[in-house]
Structure 1
Amino acid sequence: MTKQLKLSEIVPDHLFGKRLDQVLAEMFPDYSRSRIKEWILADAVQVDGVLHNKPREKVLGGEQIDILAEIPDEVRFEAEPIELNIVFEDEHIMVINKPAGLVVHPGAGNADGTLLNALLHHCPSIAEVPRAGIVHRLDKDTTGLMVIAKTIPAQTHLVEAMQAREITREYEAVCHGSMTGGGTIDEPIGRHATKRTHMAVTQSGKPATTHFRVMEKYRAHTRLRLRLETGRTHQIRVHMTFANHPLVGDPVYAGRPRPPRKADEHLLTVLRGFKRQALHAVMLRLAHPITLEILEWHAPLPDDMVQLNAALRADTVEHGLDYV
């Protein structure tokens, strides 16, 4: 279903000589530049009563802009009183520390009980923002920091910042294998050729870049700090699997459990009981979409990852090895 949108404004004189798409983005900040460009190309924009479908056309100032466009109706979801761990909130944005097991957006098999349902309950006005203000996602069982837009202008700016790689996201992870040093994985990611719910490194995929460094080296595992340049689905999980160091507990990409030789019963119990990918969004840094102030948040490791690291550390010491 779609609804019709009508917008009318006079081009301010100070926009003299600018491109039509730039002018409309400044005049109508509630809408993304990509959506505005789509309207221009779809013959939805009139300048002084004449259709204009070339985004690069220049304006003089004083023209009458009329936009008559079709936009999709947002699917309405129910608000649910689900507790949120809110790290920061003002009238424009919210930063949360997402727990394991919380799906971000309703989908097949998850019609309710999601972060989106929780946001609608916490902030009812967010229903007017596309996708309830969700501008990036974490997998169901990945924990840590996410930013939410509470208004359309905030969402527009955050999406553009994400696309321009101006938002810094860092993660902690525990992977299989003892790694000797950090590096960068720069490999495209797309849908798996045969497993349609899986992602994979594939030359037909979209560019994806993950930087990583070693935080601790255990006997048969490594604790990592990772930074994303791009935000592809399952990016860290796929890249680390591609590097032959899948994440501990990853139910999709890690394969069968691989405990180290001569592991004691405590470590075996911890590893067998770790049923999610050992991945946590530990740091988020961005320019506030309205005030432009640079803000940074940190989220401590969840208890299960603290216990996992402690067990791996103890195993390393027990076998007479130094951990770094």
Structure 2
Amino acid sequence: MSEHIELTDTVPASCNGKRLDQTLAEMFPDYSRSRIKTWITDGGVIVDGEVIDKPREKVVTGMHVSVRAELQEEQRFTAQPIALDIVYEDDHILVINKPAGLVVHPGAGTPDGTLLNALLHHFPAIDQVPRAGIVHRLDKDTTGLMVVAKTIPAQTHLVAAMQEREITREYEAVCNGSMTAGGMVEEPIGRHPTKRTHMAVVATGKPAITHYRIVERFRKHAHLRLRLETGRTHQIRVHMAHIRHPLVGDFTYGGRPRPPQNASPELLEYLRSFKRQALHAARLSLHHPITGEWLSWDAPTPDDFVKLLELLRADRKAHLND
């Protein structure tokens, strides 16, 4: 099912010099920015009588804009009573502390039982927002903070803030290997050339920047704090593997157990049984999409991560004189 729509207006002074997709998102806040971008690239946007198909095209005050497009009905998903750890909620946004094992969005092999299904049950009206308000994702086995929009205007502002790198996301991780100093990885990420479910550092990929610093050193591991400038799929996991420090438990990107010499049986067993990447979205900071207030949240380190750190500390202490 689809509905033909026509929208017309003139560019306001507040949008002078802005990108076309940003401008249309502000002029027509009932539609998501991703949907608007599709309309532009499909040739459905006319500016002063000329079709403009580049979202980055700049506009000026007073330009006449018309949109002619087919409004495709969003795919419908089932609401399911799945428990959510809600850190913050108001009329516009939700901040959730996601547990390990929860998939964010239905897809191949996971038709339901996801965060999206839980959101539909918690707040049924979110069904009117594309992707049930989800503006960024965490991998199934990554824990921590995510922001979700409850309205289309909130989603439009959050997506724009994400693209403009105005949302701060900090992570904790435990990586393999001895590390002497923090740093930055700036390498493009795209699909792996032969493993289609994997990502990789590839010359044709999208720009990606990860900052990291050492919180604590162990004999053959390091506890890191990382900050993303970009949000590519599997970004931290791919970047850390690229610099030969894959995350503990990340078997997809080479994070197989690498215990230090003469490690205790308990540490050996725990490293072998740690079946998820040791990655936690610990802090999320952003300007509220409606009020503009700067907000920040922290999520406690999950128990399995805490125990891993405790065992690594015990191993370091037991071998101080080695």
TM-score, length-scaled by structure 2: 0.90
Are 2:31 and 1:31 aligned? yes
CA RMSD across the alignment: 2.5
SS of the aligned residue for 2:107 comes to coil
- Unaligned runs of at least 5 residues, structure 1: none
Letter in 2 for 1:4: H
Asked if 1:214 corresponds to 2:214, the answer is yes
Are the aligned partners of 1:42 and 1:53 in contact in 2 as well (CA < 8 Å)? no
Any idea what SS the aligned residue of 2:310 has? Answer: helix
1:232 paired residue number = 232
Distance in 1, Cα, partners of 2:158 & 2:15:
27
Q: CA deviation at 1:73?
A: 2.0
Rate the CA distance shift 1:318–1:91 in 2: closer, same or farther, 3 A: same
SS in 2 for 1:271: helix
Give, in angstroms, the shift of residue 26 of structure 1: 3.4
Q: Which amino acid aligns with 1:281?
A: A
Q: 1:94–1:147: 8 Å Cα contact kept in structure 2?
A: yes
Residue 203 of structure 2 corresponds to residue 203 of structure 1: yes
Distance 1:321 1:236, change over 3 A: farther
Question: What is the DSSP-based 3-state SS (H/G/I as helix, E as strand, rest coil) of the residue aligned with 2:80?
Answer: coil
Aligned AA (2:213): R
> Is contact 2:133-2:148 (8 Å) kept?
yes
2:251 corresponds to 1:251: yes
Deviations 1:40-94 (A, max 9, x none): 56554568xx854246565648x7x653311332110000000000000000000
Helix, strand or coil at the partner of 1:81: coil
- Structure 2 distance, partners of 1:17, 1:267, is 59
1:149 maps onto 2:149 in alignment: yes
Identity value in percent: 64
Does the CA-based 8 Å contact 1:15-1:60 persist in structure 2? no
The one-letter code of the counterpart of 2:234 is H
Q: Which residue of 2 aligns with 1:169?
A: 169
SS at match of 2:169: strand
Question: What is the rounded CA distance, in whole Å, between the counterparts of 1:118 and 1:57 in structure 2?
Answer: 40
Residue 304 (structure 2) aligns with = 304
Q: 1:45 to 1:269 in 2, by over 3 A?
A: closer
Corresponding position: 1:88 with 2:91: no
Q: Which whole-Å CA distance do the structure 2 matches of 1:198 and 1:137 have between them?
A: 16
Report the Cα distance in structure 2 between the residues aligned to 1:5 and 1:192, rounded to whole angstroms.
Answer: 39
Call closer, same or farther: CA 1:97–1:46 in 2, change over 3 Å: same
Kindly report which structure 2 residues correspond to 1:123-142, keeping only aligned pairs within 5 A, or say none: 123-142=123-142
**In 2, Cα distance between the equivalents of 1:188 and 1:12?**
35
